[in-house]
Amino acid sequence: MHLPGPQLTTSHVRAKIVAAQVTNPYTLRFDPDTLAEFLPKAATMQDDAHRKTTHDAEEDTRNRDIQIYVNGTLKHRSEAMVSVYDSGFMLGDGMWEGMRLYNGTWAFFDEHMDRLFDSCKAVSLDIAMTRADIHDALQMTAKANGMTTDAHCRLMVTRGVKVKPFQHPSLSRTGPTVVIIIEHSKPAEKVQAKGIRLATVPQVRGLPMSQDAKYNSHSKLNCVIACLQAEQAGADEALMLDPHGFVNTTNACNFFIVRKGAVWTSTGDYCMNGVTRQKVIDLCRANDIPVFERNFSLVDAYGADEAFLTGTFGAQTPVAEIDGKPIGKNGGHGPVLDRIRTLYKALIADATA
């Protein structure tokens, strides 16, 4: 979350300008009143520009009083807590899934559970719950909050509470910590309409032997650093390359471009293989839209006719520009993205009927 700095007022700015011009005769001479009026507005504009993300949602006051699931118990959000000795808090040692509720049904539940259970098995993290147990917990939490559709869940599983504040996994001896946060959540219309601005960043998604990007792990520092780099470059989110310099993914979503009617995305070797990513690929193949999982460079991305991101929350979000270069003629939008969005909405309706 972007935190604005101290609030500028017209009187504060004018005083600072006058003081600077008195103490330094070489200071450029600007009219203090004009600058004093402009700078606070510029600061506000900059702050607003940095608030747009792929996970922006329409404001919903009901979220102030939601119940959160913590190890089998529902607690008001103001009272939902985990131990400071928890492995997830202390080390980022855990896995998570994001899911959406439509028409009382968790979309693509089985695919999300496949990824969660595979990831936990790979890091020897015993969830101590079956898929059915998790589904029951999700339904219990949704019901307690009066949610049936347009709700977004973050399911988190950590290795649990440690007996000592150190790294070794054997120090986690109480069993896993399971938390479910579900919010009333509709993607912000302005983001879906205007699109996201990306900046290519030096932070890359690394090789699997360092930390496999296919893990949906609590250890997200790599992506956080990338997002910070993009924000400092004046963009909304980061476009990350793979270790070989090919276009890969963003800090939060999978990345697609459209060139001459064909859909391109990365090979998937160095990115989270998102559920929505795979659904889009499958829809293209089933509906005669050429789609390729391939290596491509920034030159290809800059010259794309359309570009979009995929993720459970936003589904398909247009990319308006990359590194200050506008994408296509309509802010990343175009006929292929429009068709994919229509197909995906029909798929959601069918899967959650």
Structure confidence at residue 57 (pLDDT): 72
Give the pLDDT band of residue 311 (cuts 50, 70, 90).
very high
Encode pLDDT of 212-270 as tens digits: 999 999 999 999 999 999 999 999 999 999 999 999 999 999 999 999 999 999 999 99
- N residues, the chain: 353
Give the pLDDT band of residue 2 (cuts 50, 70, 90).
very low
Distances (CA, A) of 289 to 186, 277, 286: 28, 15, 8
The pair of structure tokens assigned to 324 is: 């200050």
What is residue 71's DSSP assignment? T
Q: What is the pTM of this model?
A: 0.84
CA atoms of 344 and 311, how far apart (whole Å): 12
| Domains and their CATH numbers in the chain | 61-184 (3.30.470.10), 189-351 (3.20.10.10)
Phi-psi region of 9 (alpha: psi -120 to 50; beta: other; left: phi over 0): beta
CA atoms of 345 and 37, how far apart (whole Å): 47
Encode pLDDT of 36-67 as tens digits: 444 444 444 444 444 478 777 788 899 999 99
Contact 280, 337 (CB under 8 A): no
Contact 333, 210 (CB under 8 A): no
Structure confidence at residue 296 (pLDDT): 98
CA torsion 346-350-351-353 (nearest 10°) is 130
Around Cβ 207, how many Cβ atoms within 10 Å? 14
User: Does the pLDDT of residue 5 top 50, yes or no?
Assistant: no
